[in-house]
Structure formats: structure tokens, C-alpha cells
Structure 1
Amino acid sequence: MTTNKNDIIIIGGGIIGLACAHYLMNQGTNVTIIEDQQIGSGASHGNCGLLFFSDVITLCAPGVVSTEIIRTLRGTSPLFIKPELDMDRIAFLLRFALNCRKHHMNRAAKDKYALLSYSDRLFRQLLDTGILACDFEDKGVLTAYLSKKAFDGFHRTNRFLEQYGFGYKKLSRQQTLNFEPALSSKVVGSWFSKHDRHARPDLLVAAWKNDLLRRGMKIKEMCRATDFVCKQGTIQGVQTNQGPLFADAFVLAAGAFCSKLAKTLKLCLPIQPGKGYSITMHRPEICPAVPCMLHEKNMVVTPWKSGYRLGGTMEFSGFSTALNRTRLNKLIQGAAEYMRTPMGRPVVEEWAGVRPMTYDDMPVIGRTSGFSNLVVAAGHGMLGLTLATGTGKLVSDLILEKPPEIDPAPFSPERFN
């Protein structure tokens, strides 16, 4: 096993890669990030900026499959699966369906809670340093409902969340409108979580990148990893379109693209790209004060001091980030059903990116049995921003062989073997 871990290469320059770099550099290592595009240009750029620390319930929960089938038939589902013969995607979806069981939800919630709580504590410490100017606000998140049945049905979910200290507050229609006047009177009620926060992800990435550069981190952008140089159970280097790069240890943090790179190492990382969309604009005339999750549309409206964003949808259609006008219009139409002023002007950016999804909705963090100096940090789904700090610290401890503060076993890539 390699014991000298002075030089680390991180493959992937999103929020997870930056977090890993931060905690590794805190321990005195030399870090180089290689990024296929530009730092923070993927899912870390266009997400809705929620720091969703109460999100202990996995996407693969009991009843999800039947609910989405019904919504798809009605044309109201935010989910789209491209109809093509992609065996990896088909296997992924089947395994997702098999994980929609109470046993998995209960077990995964305990494991997610540990990482979410750890990330929350570390994020607060990071904010206290003052290095991240990112429109951060600690105002909670409001989930708004148009359906009385769905609104009342959250009682059961809330009882589950209360086990972890994450109970929400129920607000009637009038209480909701008093609390958030930007919502339409069509809303029948809401549930408020005081446990969650929000930040502007592109500002956070830019601030973190600049701080790490100031501290000596090296970045190679437009640098695509294509293969690895391996010898006797260790990785010696990584082949790129800019030539080979060598280091003592490696972190694979390339988001949805990790599965492709893992195949070159004969590793199984069944991560699928889940495409999401967002529209960023100036704040509308009647702008919400807190982020609003629009339950029936599975989308988010996020206000920042410097702007406003609509985001959501889940599309399994491969790695393309081409904009689909129909999907973007659904965000606008969805917001119009809930918000008094759904759009601001001018629109600054229309965006699409791919999230790294796992079929058990758990991140992949840990060593692989094949390579002693490789740690994987991927598969965070829609919680990359939320879990970045906890993941970064855990990866640093694993690389430098320090006792981790939380158990990494539930997130191990070995679970796929």
C-alpha cells in the first residue's frame, strides 16, 4: 500500500471535488483537480442551492413506482425515461424498483442521517471562516401543496422525520399565505422545515475555488481523463488528453461520469445520469422570502439576494445536456400554478445538467478492493451540495488513513459487487 500521500489527484471539479480538495489541503497535501470542462460547470452550477439536511428519506421509497406510473399516464410526472434499449439503464431502474421497500428506507435513513448531520456541522464551521460568499440564508424551506389529499398525507412522512428530529410544521392555507405571500391562493396548505437552508451554488463554487487556488491548489481544466496507469494494485497515474499525470493517491469525483471511468478499471459503479433543468432570472416583483418546494410538480423555487431560480425534473436520457424546450416550459407552467409572480425578468440562464444517481439513492464514498490508493466520491444524486462537506472530510480521512468520524461502510462502492 502507498504510504506517502503528499500528492493527490482529484478527477472531477464539481462541488464534491472541491470539498475533497479543501479537507485534503487542510492536512498539508498537494492537490491537483482535473476537470473535463470548467470547474463547477456541471450539476454543481445549475442546481437550486438547497442545503437539504432533513432529507433522510430515499427517493426509492415504498409506493414511488406505482405513483410515478400513474402520474406518467396522466402526463403530470416530472420523470421522463427515454424509450431506448439501454441495458445499463434498464438494470438500474429495475434495481431502483426493488429498493422501494420499507426495510431499505428505514436502514438507509439511519445511514443518511449520520452523513447529513456530519455535513451540516462541517458546513456551519466552513461558513464561520468567511471564505464562502454565496448568498447563504438560514430561513428553512416551505413545501407547498395544491392537493388536499397529498397535503394531509404528509402527516405519515412527518412522523417518520420526527424520529430524527426533523419534524416539519403544518400550515393551513391562510397560515401559508401569511407566511409566504408570494404563493397563490390555489395552494391548500404547506409544511415548513426549519432545518434546511439555501445558498447560491455558482457563487459558492467560485468562492471555494478561489480560496483553494490562493492556498496552492492546481487546476487543469478541459482535461479529460481517459484511462489509468496501474501497477500491482495501485494507480500510478491517469491518462488525459493533455498527457499523463502522476500522483500518490487518487479521488474519483466525476459525478455521473464516474461509471464510464470506473469501467476502465474494471470496477462496477452503476451510476446513471439523471438530467435536471433550471431557469435563472432576476427576482420577480413578488418574490418569495424562502425557497418553496412545489410538491405536485417536484420542483423548487429558490430566491437569492442576487437572483431567482426555478429548477427540477428528472430525465433518464443519457449524458446529453441539450436543452429541451418542453421540459423548460414545464418549469414555467409549474411555477405559475403556485406563485403569484412566477417569473422575473430578464432571464439570465437556461440550463440542463446531469446528476449522478444510484439505484439505492445512497452516495458512493470509499475505497475499492482493487486499488489501495483510490477513493470514490460520487453518486450524490440531488444532494451534492448538501453532502459535500461530510463527503470531503470522509474522503480525506480515508486517503490519509485517519480514523473517520462517521462509519463509511454504508456508502462503500463494494456494495455493488
Structure 2
Amino acid sequence: MKTDILIIGGSSIGLNCAYYLLKSGRKVTILEAHEVAQGNVSGNAGQIVPSHIIPLAAPGVASSALKWMLNEKTSPFGMAMRFDIDYVKWLVQFARSCNEANLKRGIPAMKNLGQLSAGNFQKIITEENIACHYGQTGMITLFKDAKTFSAGVHDAEVLQTHGIAVQVLDKTALHALEPNLQNDVIGGTHCKQDCFVNPALFLKSLSERVREMGAEIFEHTPVTGFEIENKKITKVKTAEKIFEAEQIILATGVWSPQLARDLKLQIPVQPARGYSLTIDSIKQMPQHAFTLGDRHVAVTPFGNLLRVTGRLEVGQFDRTPNPKWIHRLENFLREYFVLDEKINIVETWAGLRPVTPDGIPIIGKSPLHTNLIVATGHAMLGLTLGPATGQIVSELVNGKDTAFDISPFALERFM
């Protein structure tokens, strides 16, 4: 089957790539191993956070992770203990990337990507009339401990030096904004540009719009192999069909390395499992998105639903929700918010975030192939950075200048 653009992967990144390519006039086919819009983004926090400009691999992160792991019951970070050469190499690369050089390289790139994406999000939701509980009240990081609050204020000052609008809230101002907080929450930092959506509703609507625009979508269609001639991918194989495309986009998240091996391409991405629980009918629903700063947990309102998301377990491929961590997320929520004794949990979820060793996504042309673009490694920001990634991929496919310099996202940095 011949097609113009073949996108492998139908979650946030793949759907956004399809949307912008279709808008540019290209014909698009999507191959999804499961169902589109049902990947590792649909159950996440739903926070759109252009304020998150600091790469995951930053100075002090590796040592902090080791300290956190000493108290497994409250640690926001976990690590699989398994011997796999790619996994071990990834861990070593990550530790080496937690330095000032990676920070200086990553911040401008992540800011450019986040700012572009925030604007694109608003345009998509407005122009396509997507109903997804879009909230524009910002994201507030909450603190109960004076030491972590002081560190949070310092982080806010760093963001301000890079042009991110952040307001520091004392206890009085914070409780005036959100009266349902526990009394011992002493302050917060408010990133006003950040916003939030119900990710499942957004992705479902985007997938429907992409179909309406003419995309052919093949669900339950995993790719089984490739044929290559003179550095061009000539055939993409599935169990039922063989596809031939002018351009191919690889956007399969944590599964990208497995597919890339068949292309003789090394993509250093590891899965990082996270969890969420969704609660129905809270009496006093919060009006903002939150991060529980002392716990590294996200809290997001979606209409009459409240989602609590947390934990980063590197090297885990299992998507089964861990009951212990679901219970801990509820307990962390109660530490910060006044809740009824009994709450109605309507959904629990576990998903896998694709993480690179330097905490910066991979977006760009394959160095080994003439018709392949790679878009993966967005970690916890797959929803946030989807629209910007989609625009950039469309610009690359169409031979246009990209919105900004994307060299920091090139796969070659790992080669």
C-alpha cells in the first residue's frame, strides 16, 4: 500500500504530527499497535507546562534520586534492578548528563519548544472547538516545609531569569486562592502561563479531527519489519499489509528503540513508569493545577474529576498499577487538601514515559536514512510538547525552516 507520509505511533506525538502534516496538505497514514489516543498520555496529569524548561538530567538530580530511594514509601523516583546492556549504558549516560553543560544546552531548547507548544495548544483547542476541560488558571507548586519552599522560591527566580512568569505566594495569598488547602501548607509558586486539559478528551478529539481531515488510521497494526535500499526505507511491514511511503515518522515512545534496531539505529530511550488515580465528586474542586512540591506529585481538576499523578520508575515496562503507590498518592493528596473520609476513585492507571539520558527529547531527521524522522523521548512532557513537535516535524517533511534551531534535539548527540 502506497502512501505519502507514514506515521508509526498514534498517541500525542503521532497525532500532533498527523494534524500539522494534514494542515500542510500532505496525505497521512497512521499505524498504531493498539488504539490511537490510548497510549501513555491518556491517563497522565493533563498539565500543559511550558514552565518546565529544566531538563530532567540536571545538576544534583542523580544524587537526589539515590537519597530518595532510601525511603521507598515516599520516594518520587524508583529504578528497576535488571541487567541489560542498553539500560546500564543509559543509567551511566544519565548520571553523566546531570551537569551544568547539559542545563545550559537544554534550557533554551526546552523553553523554545514549550512556548511554541503552549501557543499551538490554544490554537488547536480554539480552532477545532475541542471540549477537554481546558483550564488557564496556571499551575501552583505547594510547599509544607520551609526548606523546600525556600528551594522552590530559588527555582522560581531561575525561571524568571529565563523569561518565565512566576509569582511567589505566601500562606495568606495561597489560601485565598485555594481555601480547601490544609492549614500547614505554607506557600507556593504560581506559573501563570501553565494550563491543563483532560488528556483523554483532548487526544480523542484530536484523533477524530485527524480522521475527518483525511488520515487513514490502522489500529492494532504493529510494525514487524522494514526493507531499506540506498539509505531509504522502501517498505514498512505489518502482519496484514506492506506500506511504501515517501516519508516515515517514528513516534512510538518507549517502543522506539525496539523498532529502530531493525533500522540499525540506536535510540537511547528507557521507559519510566508513573501512576495516576482519578477521583469523582470532590465537594470543593480546586481551580488550579498543582504540584505537591514536597512529594513531586501532580494534581489536576477535570470538570467534576480530580486526577493525582506521580512517581518515576525508570526501566519498568510493566503497565500494571501498583496498589501500594495508588494508596500513597491518595495519602499525599490528603496531606495537602481537606477531603472527605471516603472518596470515590473511578480510575487507576499506570503509563510508561519515554526518557532520554539527558532529559531532552529526540526530534529530527535520522542520520542513517533519507526518509525517516524520529520524534520520541518526551518523558513526562508528551502532552505538553506534542503540538510543537507536530509543527516541527511538518516543517522538516515539507523542507521549510523550523520555527527555531532544533539541533539540541538531534539524535546525533548520542552517536
Name the TM-score, length of structure 1 as normaliser: 0.95
Q: Please say if 1:39 is aligned against 2:5.
A: no
- Mapped contact 1:284–1:344 kept (Cα < 8 A): no
Cα offsets for 1:79-106 (capped at 9, x unmatched): 1112222222222122111111122112
The question of 1:21 aligning with 2:18 is answered yes
Q: Distance in 2 between matches of 1:342 and 1:130?
A: 38
Q: Which residue of 1 aligns with 2:312?
A: 314
SS at match of 1:166: coil
User: 1:117, 1:171 → 2: CA distance?
Assistant: 24
Residue number in structure 2 paired with 1:7 = 4
- Pick which of 76-85 and 250-259 moved more: 76-85
Give me the identity figure in percent: 33
Residue aligning to 1:298: 296
Structure 1 position 344, deviation (Å)? 7.7
- Name the counterpart of 1:151: 149
Kindly provide the amino acid, as one letter, of the partner of residue 371 in structure 1: H
Instruction: State the alpha-carbon separation in 2 of the partners of residues 159 and 304 from structure 1.
Output: 30
Looking at structure 1, the residues matched to 93 and 290 of structure 2 have their Cα atoms a distance apart, in angstroms, of: 31
Residue 174 of structure 2 is matched in structure 1 by 176
Question: 1-side partners of 2:340 and 2:40: how far apart?
Answer: 23
Match in the other structure for 2:138: 140
Provide the residue aligned with 1:261 in structure 2: 259
Q: How many residue pairs end up in the alignment?
A: 413
Deviates more, 1:18-27 or 1:85-94: 85-94
Query: Which of 257, 260, 270 is equivalent to 1:272?
Result: 270
> Relative to structure 1, is the Cα distance of residues 409 and 9 closer, same or farther in structure 2, using a 3 angstrom cutoff?
same
**Which shows bigger deviation, 369-378 or 129-138?**
129-138
Shift of 1:345: 4.5
Structure 1 range deviating more: 45-54 or 326-335? 326-335
Tell me the distance in 1 between the aligned counterparts of 2:292 and 2:230. 52
Using the size of structure 2 for normalisation, the TM-score is: 0.96
* Cα separation, 1, equivalents of 2:340 and 2:68: 23
Contact 1:56 1:112 in 2 (8 A): yes
Specify the alignment match of 1:193 in structure 2: 191
Alpha-carbon contact 2:308-2:333 (below 8 Å) kept: yes
RMSD of aligned residue pairs (Cα, Å): 1.6
Deviation at 1:306, TM superposition (A): 4.3
Contact 2:50-2:193 at 8 Å conserved across structures = yes
Letter in 2 for 1:398: L
Does residue 205 of the first structure (1) align with residue 203 of the second (2)? yes
What 5-or-longer segments of structure 2 have no aligned partner?
Answer: none
Q: What is the rounded CA distance, in whole Å, between the counterparts of 1:205 and 1:19 in structure 2?
A: 9
Cα separation, partners in 2 of 1:87 and 1:190, compared to 1, 3 Å? same
Query: What is aligned with 1:384?
Result: 382
Tell me the secondary structure at the aligned position of residue 372 of structure 1. Answer: coil
Tell me, yes or no, if structure 1 residue 63 matches structure 2 residue 56.
no
Q: Give the counterpart letter for 2:363 in structure 1.
A: I
How far apart are 1:70 and its partner, in Å?
A: 1.8
1:360 Cα offset (Å): 0.7
SS at match of 1:185: coil
**Aligned position for 1:407:** 405
| 1:272-308 Cα shifts (integer Å, max 9, x gaps) | 0111111122131122111110012111111111421
The separation in 2 between residues aligned to 1:155 and 1:145, in whole angstroms, is 10
Q: Any stretches of 5+ residues in structure 1 without a counterpart? A: none
Displacement of 1:376: 0.5
Quote the residue 1:396 is aligned against: 394
Out of 97, 100, 104, which is 1:102 matched to?
A: 100
The range that moved more, 225-234 or 315-324, is 315-324
| Superposed displacement of residue 6, structure 1 | 6.5
CA distance in 2, matches of 1:227, 1:334: 45
Equivalent residue for 2:238, pick from 236, 240, 248: 240
CA distance in 2, matches of 1:155, 1:202: 33
Contact 1:13 1:38 in 2 (8 A): yes
Q: Secondary structure at the match of 1:46?
A: coil
Q: Distance in 1 between matches of 2:402 and 2:80?
A: 40
CA shift, 1:191, in A, is: 1.0
Tell me the distance in 1 between the aligned counterparts of 2:343 and 2:335: 18
SS in 2 for 1:362: coil
Distance, in Å, in 2 between the alignment partners of 1:98 and 1:324 is: 30
Contact residue 109 and residue 406 of structure 2 kept, 8 A: no
Tell me the SS of whatever aligns to 2:402: coil
The residue type paired with residue 414 of structure 1 is: E
| Whole-angstrom CA distance in 2 between matches of 1:126 and 1:71 | 39
Q: CA deviation at 1:365?
A: 0.5
Q: Structure 2: how far apart are the matches of 1:186 and 1:350?
A: 28
SS of residue matched to 1:44: coil
Q: Is the 8 A contact 2:105 2:408 kept in 1?
A: no
SS in 2 for 1:386: coil
From 76, 79, 82, the equivalent of 2:77 is 79
1:46 partner letter: G
Contact map agreement 2:6 2:30 (CA 8 A) in 1: yes
Asked if 1 retains the 8 angstrom alpha-carbon contact of 2:156 and 2:189, the reply is: no
> Structure 1's 301 and 283: CA in aligned 2 closer, same or farther, altered over 3 A?
farther
SS in 2 for 1:239: strand
Q: Distance in 1 between matches of 2:77 and 2:3?
A: 44
Residue 324 of structure 1 corresponds to which residue in structure 2?
322
Residue by residue, what CA displacement relative to the aligned partner does 1:161-202 show, whole Å, maximum 9, x if unpaired?
112221421112232212111211121211111010001100
Matched-pair contact (CA < 8 Å) for 1:308–1:344:
no
- Structure 1 distance, partners of 2:344, 2:146, is 34
Per mean C-alpha deviation after superposition, the further-off stretch among 260-269 and 98-107 is 98-107
* 8 A Cα contact 1:65 1:97, kept in partner: yes
The alignment partner of 1:228 has SS state of strand
Partner of 2:114: 116
Find the aligned partners of 1:179 and 1:332 in 2 and give their Cα distance. 22
